[in-house]
Amino acid sequence: MGTRCWHECHSSKREGKGREGGRVRVREGKGRADHSIAEKRECAELSSFFQFGSLRVKKLKRRFRGDIWEHARYMLTRGNMLTLPFEEPHIMCEPRFGANYPRESLPESLEQERQHNPDRSNSDMREVEDDISDRDEDEREDDQDENGLPKKRGPRKKKPGKEQVDRAKLRRQEANARERSRMHGLNAALESLRKVVPCYSKTQKLSKIETLRLAKNYIWALSETLSAGKRPDLLAFVQTLCKGLSQPTTNLVAGCLQLNARNFLTDHNGEVMFSGRAPYDAMYSYPGSDMNTPPGHSGSSLDSSAKPFRHYSYSSAYETYYENQSPESGSPHFDGQLSPPMNFNGIFSLKHDDPPEYGKNSHYGMRYCSAPGRTALAHNSMYRVSPEARFPYDLHVRSQSFQAQGEVNGSFHN
DNA sequence: TAGGCCATCTGGTCCT
DNA sequence: AGGACCAGATGGCCTA
């Protein structure tokens, strides 16, 4: 994945691969005879360069085990002068970077630095010379902070050893794997949720956020229906489902329910509006005498002639119809304070022990426990399938198989 | 090409 | 100390 590329890129930055590459050292591999000649020459060069006496140069050279030029570079670039191309292996890897590093091969920046700030060079070298600690080269590099400025002295923080670094890397990798696994589990749970909300489609998956919204709406609608004990109207149910969903998801839901998606427009507030003729007028009757008019269509509340494309406002209708608050209707704190009434008293329950085949056969829908006495309820389901409309969310007894179920599943799970 | 969605990495925080 | 959880960052993929 691209993440890996990103990771590699950034990890190499974090791990300082470029810089590490610049620290490759090619030590002098010459014979003893050559070495003495080269040493004299080098001492002369160093003496001239740093304006040191030859004795001092020898001392420094002994201390730095022949890498005097590199350390000279290092010391000159201490402070905020880390401008030399340590990252350029082609420079650092060349054999000349050993004791025989010719004076004229010094990078320009180094030479310029020496010319512009000779005192600095000398003082830095003296500082190193006087520092009799046995810090290794890596520790010496740690004298710089992230800006390259010298760090203040103090109790030295013990640098983690290689084992500790490796262990930290390993732990990070393990944590990443755990996090991956955790997210996979989360996604699996989300996938199972997708299968039990309306509009499950393998080809057109709902996004995570839409799945959660739809599930919440679905729970709300079912719970409200059960608590009301009345047969709700299709439109209110669908509009509850689509509450807060994006227009594409609303279309999908409407499509799954074989309704005209254009009738369920989502306005800029996430409000689901019905903008068409009420198709259920002829198909559905309403439970009570006061419910003979679809929610929102009681002439007094809305003037349908004045607002031909907003015959039905979800929120007001929902509240009127259910005498309850709809999800998120005017309250941004719905999730916490206005959780839908749950009916877990055996009538409606979430099934956690569904056998796999059950999920295949009924991905959605209210699921009834096959508790005694529930059959009648199911038979008197509040949701009834109109033969014409093939209203797809018929309640069904868990153990029963309805003919409509196949159609229903086909509608929701195309 | 911009925007949405997603997977992954990562560091911080909290908890056991 | 180590694991779970979380949120931010980032890049890839896809689509309108």
pLDDT digits (tens, 9 = 90+) for A8-64: 333 332 322 222 222 222 222 222 333 344 444 444 544 444 444 444 444 444 444
Which tokens in the block code for residue A235?
Answer: 């439109």
How many angstroms is C1' of C11 away from CA of A208?
20
Cα-based angle A386, A389, A392 (whole degrees, multiple of 5): 80
The first and second tokens of residue A188, run together, are 């699996």
Q: Compute chain A's Rg from CA coordinates.
A: 39
Angstrom distance (rounded) from CA A131 to CA A139: 13
How many Cβ atoms are within 10 Å of A368's Cβ, its own excluded? Answer: 22
- Give the residue nearest to nucleotide B11 (CA to C1'): A172
Q: Give the pLDDT of residue A264.
A: 54
Residue A194 lies in a domain: yes
Q: Which of A410, A94, A78, A366 is nearest to A218 (CA)?
A: A366
* Percent over 70 (pLDDT), chain A: 23
Residue A257 lies in a domain: yes
Write out residues whose CB is closer than 7 A to strand C: A 1-3, 5-6, 9, 171, 174-175, 178-179, 182
Placement of tokens 């038979």 in the chain? A379
Q: How far apart are CA A11 and CA A165, in angstroms?
A: 14
> What does each C-alpha distance from A338 to A7, A341, A342, A347 come to in angstroms?
43, 9, 11, 21
Closest CA to A193 of A173, A164, A214: A214
Q: Do the domain assignments include residue A402?
A: no
Q: Which of A106 and A40 is assigned the larger pLDDT?
A: A40
Q: In the structure encoding, which two tokens stand for residue A370, read together?
A: 């096959």
Span CA (A3) to C1' (B12), Å: 21
CA distance A238 to A318: 11
User: In this predicted model, which residue has the larger pLDDT, A160 or A71?
Assistant: A160
pLDDT of amino acid A260 = 56
Number of H helices, E strands in chain A: 19, 5
pLDDT computed for residue A268 by the predictor: 52
First to last CA, chain A: 30
Query: For residues A220 and A121, what is the distance between their CA atoms, to the nearest angstrom?
Result: 76
Give the pLDDT confidence of A107-118 residue by residue, as tens digits.
333 333 333 443
What is the pLDDT at residue A298? 30
**Which bases of chain B are contacted by protein, using any atom under 7 A from a CB?**
4-12
CB within 7 A of nucleic chain B: A 1, 3-4, 7, 10-11, 14, 172-173, 175-177, 179-180, 183-184, 187, 205, 207-210, 246
Mean of the per-residue pLDDT values for chain A?
A: 47
State the CB neighbour count (10 A cutoff) for residue A259: 21
Residue A263: per-residue pLDDT: 54
Work out whether strand A396-397 and strand A367-368 pair parallel, antiparallel, or are unpaired: parallel
- A73 vs A230, more confident: A230
User: Per the domain annotation, does A226 fall within a domain?
Assistant: yes
Distances (CA, A) of A361 to A140, A191, A385: 70, 16, 18
- Give the integer Cα–Cα distance in Å for A227 and A230: 8
Does residue A325 belong to any structural domain of this protein? no
In a domain, A210, yes or no: yes
Say if CB A358 and CB A385 are below 8 A apart.
no
Stretch A279-295: mean pLDDT, rounded? 31
User: pTM score > 0.95 for this model?
Assistant: no
pLDDT digits (tens, 9 = 90+) for A244-286: 888 778 877 777 766 655 555 555 555 555 554 333 332 333 3
Please give the Cα distance from A236 to A217 (Å, whole number). Answer: 12
A224 is a domain residue: yes
**Residue A116, pLDDT score:** 40
Q: Quote the CA–CA distance of A269 and A263 in Å, as a whole number.
A: 17
Distance A175 CA to B13 C1' (A): 15
Q: Which domain holds residue A187?
A: 166-263
Among A67-76, A256-265, A378-387, which is the least confidently predicted range?
Answer: A378-387
Counting the structural domains of chain A, the total is: 1
Confidence of residue A156 (pLDDT cuts 50, 70, 90): low
Give the CA A173 to C1' C2 distance in Å. Answer: 14
Q: Distance of alpha carbon A319 from its chain centroid, rounded? A: 37
Question: Is A159 part of a structural domain of the chain?
Answer: no
Q: How far is Cα A79 from Cα A177, in angstroms, rounded to an integer?
A: 40
Both tokens of residue A328? 């998120």
